[in-house]
């Protein structure tokens, strides 16, 4: 059916590519398992995905309606109509012509859309099958050290004494960490662990939102080290834990490291991130053992101590944080 007014005018120089693809993730519908299809619309020359819809391959697809929705409510930018549409089959072209109106539709290869789908597929698979090992880029030994530190942290239970507002300054020169901010979470028993913020300003502005793939130019501003119960851990992570026999402190103590950028959107933790949090955890536990009493004092004197890990990484902790001013 033709679009109903009011409808956006046609944008000059913009070509939209449309196509249908099948994702490798599994959807469970009762006893039946299927792989969902995805309808994509890519805008050139900016290579922006303006529309994406997951569909049940068993159901009929209304391509014209999906095009209409993408033009009226594009994922990015204002409503608009492309100057031209390109699809890979005459079947698609025929079905879309009624909705497209006077927009020319070209049948031909869509390699740009194929590439966009591959990026989407990789992102979806990473989300559906998370990994500690980052596709082999992170050493199992590094994760083993992280798990060992996690077990020590879980048993030490610093959240029984420390409030999340009692923040600590962290400096790790070997990793370019300067004037960072460490917060212990778990006083209200909702989530247990450590949060390492890039700065005290990031700590003050903390407000997590949604998740996305890491992109160049999006530095990590928060590393969240927490514990989850076994039932909440994805199967892909359980398989890695079993394979490498990483130590677990208990059924409710499966460690997770999540990294977030300045938009508080999740990005993949790398080997460097695990090494940072491992070094930070060991230093914090030593600090807590020696100076834990300062967290039970209303106005404690500032305490600074330097720790060196077994692999030679120097970590400096200062508590309370020199810039802390919470009433």
CA–CA dist 127, 102 (Å, integer)? 40
Share of the chain above pLDDT 70, in %: 89
- CATH class of this structure's domain 15-128: alpha beta
Query: In angstroms, how far is CA 97 from the centroid of its own chain?
Result: 39
Per-residue pLDDT of 216-272, as tens digits, reads: 555 889 999 999 999 889 888 999 999 999 999 999 999 999 999 887 778 889 999
CA–CA dist 270, 182 (Å, integer)? 19
CA–CA dist 271, 137 (Å, integer)? 7
Q: pTM for this structure?
A: 0.66
Q: What is the DSSP string of 42-107?
A: EEETTTEEEEEEEE-TTS---HHHHHHHHHHS-SSSS--B-SEEEES-HHHHHHHHHHHTTS-EEE
Inter-axis angle of helices 271-291 and 140-156, nearest 10: 30
Query: In angstroms, how far is CA 295 from the centroid of its own chain?
Result: 32
Confidence of residue 85 (pLDDT cuts 50, 70, 90): very high
pLDDT at residue 207, as a whole number = 43
pLDDT at residue 213, as a whole number = 40
Counting Cβ atoms within 10 Å, is residue 286 exposed (0-12), middle (13-18) or buried (19+)? middle
Contact 97, 68 (CB under 8 A): no
Residues of the chain with CATH 3.30.420: 15-128
Which of 197, 194, 192 minimizes the C-alpha distance to 181?
197
Average pLDDT score over residue span 292-321? 94
pLDDT at residue 54, as a whole number = 84
SS3 state of residue 41:
strand
The mean pLDDT value of the chain amounts to: 87
CA–CA dist 123, 146 (Å, integer)? 25
Per-residue pLDDT of 110-155, as tens digits, reads: 999 999 988 888 777 666 678 899 889 999 999 999 999 999 999 9
CA–CA dist 285, 150 (Å, integer)? 10
Q: Which two tokens stand for residue 316?
A: 């400096």
pLDDT at residue 126, as a whole number = 65
Per-residue pLDDT of 24-70, as tens digits, reads: 776 766 677 777 888 999 999 999 999 988 888 878 878 888 898 89
Confidence of residue 101 (pLDDT cuts 50, 70, 90): confident
pLDDT at residue 243, as a whole number = 96
Instruction: Mark out the alpha helices in the chain (DSSP H runs).
Output: 63-72, 90-100, 111-128, 140-156, 200-204, 235-244, 271-291
pLDDT at residue 121, as a whole number = 80
Helix (H) or strand (E) holding 255: strand 254-260
SS3 state of residue 174:
helix
CA–CA dist 76, 83 (Å, integer)? 17
CA–CA dist 178, 18 (Å, integer)? 47
Per-residue pLDDT of 181-190, as tens digits, reads: 999 999 876 7
DSSP 8-state assignment for residue 157: -
């Amino acid at each position: 059916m033709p679009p109903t007014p009011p409808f956006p005018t046609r944008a000059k120089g913009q070509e939209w590519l449309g196509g249908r693809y099948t994702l490798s993730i599994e959807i469970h519908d009762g006893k039946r398992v299927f792989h969902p299809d995805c309808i994509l619309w890519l805008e050139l020359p900016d290579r922006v995905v303006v529309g994406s819809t997951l569909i049940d391959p068993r159901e009929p697809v209304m391509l014209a309606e999906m095009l209409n929705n993408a033009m009226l409510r594009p994922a990015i930018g204002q409503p608009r109509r492309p100057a031209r549409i390109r699809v890979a089959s005459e079947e698609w072209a025929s079905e879309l012509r009624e909705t497209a109106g006077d927009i020319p539709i070209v049948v031909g290869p869509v390699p740009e859309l194929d590439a966009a789908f591959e990026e989407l597929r990789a992102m979806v698979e990473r989300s559906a099958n998370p990994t500690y090992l980052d596709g082999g880029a992170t050493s199992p030994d590094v994760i083993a050290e992280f798990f060992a530190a996690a077990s020590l942290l879980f048993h030490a239970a610093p959240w029984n004494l420390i409030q999340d507002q009692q923040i600590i300054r962290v400096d790790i020169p070997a990793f370019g960490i300067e004037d960072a901010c460490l917060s212990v979470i778990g006083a209200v028993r909702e989530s247990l662990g450590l949060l390492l913020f890039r700065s005290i300003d990031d700590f003050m502005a903390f407000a997590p939102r949604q998740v996305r793939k890491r992109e160049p130019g999006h530095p990590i501003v928060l590393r969240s080290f927490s514990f989850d119960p076994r039932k909440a851990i994805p199967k892909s992570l359980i398989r890695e834990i079993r394979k490498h026999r990483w130590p677990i402190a208990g059924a409710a103590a499966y460690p997770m490291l999540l990294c977030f950028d300045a938009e508080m959107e999740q990005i993949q933790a790398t080997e460097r991130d695990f090494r940072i949090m491992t070094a930070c955890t060991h230093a914090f536990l030593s600090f807590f053992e020696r100076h834990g009493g300062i967290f039970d004092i209303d106005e404690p004197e500032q305490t600074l101590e330097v720790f060196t890990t077994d692999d030679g990484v120097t970590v400096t902790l200062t508590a309370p944080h020199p810039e802390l001013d919470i009433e």
